[in-house]
A and B are shown apart, each in its own frame.
Chain A
C-alpha cells in the first residue's frame, strides 16, 4: 500500500477518543443529541405537563393568534395548539419507532439469511424486495392502509413494510462482504457453527451501519406516518397528531391563520431534522470516510 502516515494515526486512535473528537469537531451532532433528548422527554412527560387539555374545545376562544396564554394560538374549535403539538409527540414518535423496530428485526433476519447462505433464498428475497421497491413507497403505504383499514396499527405495518427493503438490503450487503472474511473463516476453525458465526461474529460487525440507518429511517418514518394522516389515513380527528393538524390548519392558511398549520409542521420538521442530524453524526462516528 501507499505509505501514508496519516492513515496509521487514524487507525491507532481509540473509539472514545474518536467520539470526543467528532463531537468537538462537529457541534451540530452535539446539538442533535440535545434535541433528541428534548423530544424523548416531551414524548414521555409532555401529556402531564401541557397547560391545556389537548381535546377540550372552546368555541368562544377559536382561532386566536399566538399569545401569552396560548403560545401557539388556538385552532378553529378553540383548542390550544401548543398543548396539542406537545402531546402529539408521543403518538408520532411511537408510531415511527414501532415501524422502524419491526422493519429492523424482519429486515435483519431476512437480510442475514440471504447474505450468508445466498442461493435460492437470496434470489427469492431479492425478488420480493424488488417487487416492493417497484412501487413508489409512499404510494404503496397508501394502498396498504387503504386495503387493511384505516387504523393506527395499519399505518405502522405499512410504514414497516416499505422500510424492510432498506434494512434487508443493507444487512445482506454487510453480511455478504464479511461472509468470506478471514475472521469469519477463523471463527469456523475455532469450532463455531454457521449460525454462531453469523450471529456472534458477522452480525455484530454489521450493527454500526445499521444504527445509522435506523436513525435516518426514524425521521423518514415520522414523515411517512404524518404524510399518511395528512391525506386522511390512519389517525382520525380529534386525536392530536402533527400531520392531521397541518391538514386541518391548511384550510385556514389562505385566510391568514397561519399558526394552526405552521407550528405542528415546524415541530414535525424539527423532529425529522433531529433524527437526520443524528444519523449523520452517527455516520461520522461509525465511519469517518463515508461522510457525505
Chain B
C-alpha cells in the first residue's frame, strides 16, 4: 500500500544542510499498524511530514522514493497532494489542543475538510460533521459541534483531531505521538479508540512514538529509528524478546516493565549490584491533614483535601497521580516553597508547616530539605555555568568559600558522573542528561536528609531516564537520603520506591507497600491506572 525506498530528508540550516532522515526503506501492508519508535532527533516525525509533503520551511526530500497506491508522493503535483491529504492519507498530532484552530468552532473545522474534499455540500455539511463526531465516540455530538477547542479537555480535543482526520474515510492514518502530553488513562482511551477505528475501517496506520511499550501494545510491526536510519524492524514480541541491534537492546532494556529491577534498565555491562538502602522505623516526615485551597476565578479551588501520610527515615515513597491530582502542590508545600492552607508537617518532630515559606530560606532546616525539579532545562539559570549552579547552595547555605568550595564542587561532579570539563559550560551547551546531573548535584550538594524528586525524568528520553534513575538509587544508598518521588508513571515508581501513595482529586485513594499495591490494588482508580499503563511483552528468557 505504502512503499518507501531510500528516503532521505535534509534541512537547510545556517550550519549547512542537516540530514534528518538518511535513506530509509519500508513497506506498509493494507490493514497493518506499523510503529516507528525512536528517541528525540531520530527523524521519525520528519519521515511522516515528508510522506505528507508538509515539511517545515527549509526541509526537502533529498533522495529516494515514496509510493502510495501507485502514486509517487515525491513527484506528485501540489494540487494532487492536497487531494491525497485528508482523503487518502490523514494525520493526527501530538498536543491536540494546539493542533486545532483556536478561534474556529470544531464543527466548522470538520466541515472545512468535508467541503474541501467534496464530501459534503453546504446543506448536509452540518449533519455529516456531527456524524463524524459520533464516529469518534463523542457523546452529545450536536452540542460539541458548537464548541471551541479551549472549552474541551485534551482527550476530547484529540478525538476532534481524529474526527477531522477520519472525516473523509482515508485509507492510511499517520499518528504522530498522538498521546504525548495526555494523562495515562486518557492515553489508553485515545489509543484504544484509534486502534478500534483503524480495525473497523480496514485502514493502515503509521504510529510514531518514543514509547516502545506503547508501540508494542498497539502495533503489528515495529521499526526502530536512530539518527535518521532504521536500525531494526520486526514484530513486537521479537523486538522485545530478541533485539538484534545494540541500540534496540538498549531501548528495550531501558523501558520499565513488570518484574524487572532498576539495574536491568541499564545495558548489561553497566549493571552493578544495587547498594542496599536502610529504612528505619523512626518517621522523618509526618504529614497531618494537609489542605491547600487556591483562590480561583470561579470560587476557591481545593487542590489538596486533607491528606496524611508518614515517611520513615531512609524510606523512598512514591507519590503517584495524574495531572491535577494535587501531587505537585503537595510536593511544593513539603519542600516549603508554598504555604499550606491548614495541616501540619512534622519534620523530625518539628512542625515546619508553621514556618512561613517566605522566610524558610534562612531556616537551618533549609539545607536538609531539597528538591530535584521536573524540567532540568527550566531549573537551571541560563546565565549560570554548571559550576555556578552547584556553588550556589554550598556558598549560601553551606558557608563554603575558596579552595574548599572548589574541591567540593568537583567532588559532587564526580559523584553524579558529570565530567569535570563540563562544569564551566552553560546549560544550553549541555545535553538533557548532563543538565539532569547538574540539577541532582545541586540538590544533593548539602547532603539533605529529605529529597523530593518532582518527575525528575519526565522530560528525558528513556535511555537517559534509565541512567538518571540508577544514579538516584546509588546516591540514596551513599548519602542515606529519604526520597519522595513524585511521578505519573507507576512502573518507574515501583522500581525506585518502597512505599507508594496514589492521589486523585486532592485525596489519597490508596497507599501501601509498593509491591503490594502494584500486585494487588484495592482501589478502583489504582486498578484503572495500572491497567492503562502499556504493558510491553516480557523480556527474553536468556539474560
- For B367-386 the 0/1 string (1 means CB < 8 A from A) is 10011011100111111100
CB contacts (< 8 Å) of A192 on chain B: these are: 361, 392, 396
Chain B residue with Cβ nearest A207: B383
Q: Are B42 and A3 in contact (CB under 8 A)?
A: yes
Give Cα distance in the complex from A13 to B18, angstroms: 15
* In the complex, B45 has a CB within 8 A of chain A: yes
Cβ-neighbour of B362 out of A8, A193, A201 (below 8 A): A193
**Min distance, Cβ B387 to any Cβ of chain A, angstroms:** 14
Q: Are B373 and A3 in contact (CB under 8 A)?
A: no
* In the complex, B347 has a CB within 8 A of chain A: no
Q: Are A186 and B373 in contact (CB under 8 A)?
A: yes
Q: Are B358 and A186 in contact (CB under 8 A)?
A: no
Q: Are A181 and B378 in contact (CB under 8 A)?
A: yes
Give Cα distance in the complex from A162 to B373, angstroms: 41
Give the residues from 185 to 226 in chain A that come closer than 8 angstroms, CB to CB, to chain B. Answer: 185-194, 201, 204-205
Q: Are B18 and A5 in contact (CB under 8 A)?
A: yes
Known: A3-B42, A5-B11, A9-B13. A191 touches B378 (CB 8 A): no
* In the complex, B35 has a CB within 8 A of chain A: no
CB contacts (< 8 Å) of B443 on chain A: these are: 189
Give Cα distance in the complex from A4 to B429, angstroms: 17
* In the complex, A136 has a CB within 8 A of chain B: no
Chain B residue with Cβ nearest A188: B361
Q: Are B335 and A189 in contact (CB under 8 A)?
A: yes
Q: Are B337 and A1 in contact (CB under 8 A)?
A: no
**Min distance, Cβ B247 to any Cβ of chain A, angstroms:** 15
CB contacts (< 8 Å) of B374 on chain A: these are: 182
**Min distance, Cβ B405 to any Cβ of chain A, angstroms:** 13
Q: Are A204 and B392 in contact (CB under 8 A)?
A: no
CB contacts (< 8 Å) of B361 on chain A: these are: 188, 191-194
Known: A5-B18, A12-B429, A191-B397. A183 touches B381 (CB 8 A): yes
Chain B residue with Cβ nearest A24: B14
Q: Are B379 and A4 in contact (CB under 8 A)?
A: no
Give Cα distance in the complex from A188 to B337, angstroms: 8
CB contacts (< 8 Å) of A8 on chain B: these are: 41
Q: Are B41 and A4 in contact (CB under 8 A)?
A: yes
CB contacts (< 8 Å) of A186 on chain B: these are: 371, 373, 379-380, 439, 442
Q: Are B375 and A3 in contact (CB under 8 A)?
A: no
Q: Are B396 and A191 in contact (CB under 8 A)?
A: yes
Give Cα distance in the complex from A6 to B41, angstroms: 9
**Min distance, Cβ A22 to any Cβ of chain B, angstroms:** 10
* In the complex, B94 has a CB within 8 A of chain A: yes
CB contacts (< 8 Å) of A4 on chain B: these are: 20, 41, 45-46
Known: A2-B94, A12-B429, A182-B378. A191 touches B20 (CB 8 A): no
**Min distance, Cβ B396 to any Cβ of chain A, angstroms:** 4
Q: Which of A181, A182, A188, A205 has the most CB of B within 10 A?
A: A182
- A-B contacts, 16 of them at CB < 8 A, read A3-B41, A3-B42, A5-B11, A5-B41, A6-B13, A6-B18, A9-B13, A13-B15, A21-B14, A186-B379, A189-B443, A190-B442, A191-B361, A191-B393, A191-B397, A205-B381
Given A3-B43, A6-B13, A205-B381, 20 more contacts at CB 8 Å? A2-B176, A3-B38, A3-B41, A6-B18, A8-B41, A11-B428, A182-B380, A183-B384, A185-B373, A186-B371, A186-B439, A188-B337, A189-B335, A189-B337, A189-B371, A190-B392, A190-B393, A190-B397, A192-B361, A192-B396
**B→A interface (CB under 8 Å):** 11, 13-15, 18, 20, 38-46, 58, 94, 176-177, 228, 335, 337, 358, 360-362, 366-367, 370-371, 373-375, 378-384, 392-393, 396-397, 428-429, 439, 442-443
**A→B interface (CB under 8 Å):** 1-6, 8-14, 21, 25, 181-183, 185-194, 201, 204-205
